[in-house]
Amino acid sequence: SGARGKHFGNLARVRHVITYSLSPFEQRAIPNIFSHGLPNVMRRFSSQVLKVVPPFAVGYLIYSWGTEEFERLKRKNPADYEHDQ
């Protein structure tokens, strides 16, 4: 190739590597989505649900408790002002 700069796509010469590709027109876009896809989604969801839901539930309970406590503490106590004129 000489002293010329390499063109994009010829940046490296790789030998003994064979790559295969399939034309987009030969592939089916969504093969077997109902026979394989949905059962696989359900299986993966059910295997992860016990790892994901408890932390979210605990976080929500802490958040709702903190919000209620904040609203409660924000209020003035009417008993403090009973004897004011």
Give the Cα separation of 60 and 71 in Å (integer). 17
Residue type, 82: E
**Tens digits of per-residue pLDDT, 41-84?**
889 999 999 999 999 999 999 999 999 999 999 998 888 888 88
In a domain, 7, yes or no: no
Q: How many domains, in total, are found in the chain?
A: 1
Count the Cβ atoms, other than its own, within 10 Å of residue 66. 10
CB count in 10 Å sphere of residue 74: 7
CATH (domain of 46): 1.20.5.210
Q: Quick one: pLDDT at residue 55?
A: 96
Tell me whether residue 25 is in a domain: no
SS3 1: coil
Residue 54 included in any domain = yes
Model confidence band, residue 17 (pLDDT cutoffs 50, 70, 90): confident
Give the structural domain span for 61: 32-76
| pLDDT tens-digit readout, 70-79 | 999 999 888 8
In angstroms, rounded to a whole number, what is the distance separating the alpha carbons of residues 9 and 6? 8
pLDDT score for 82: 85
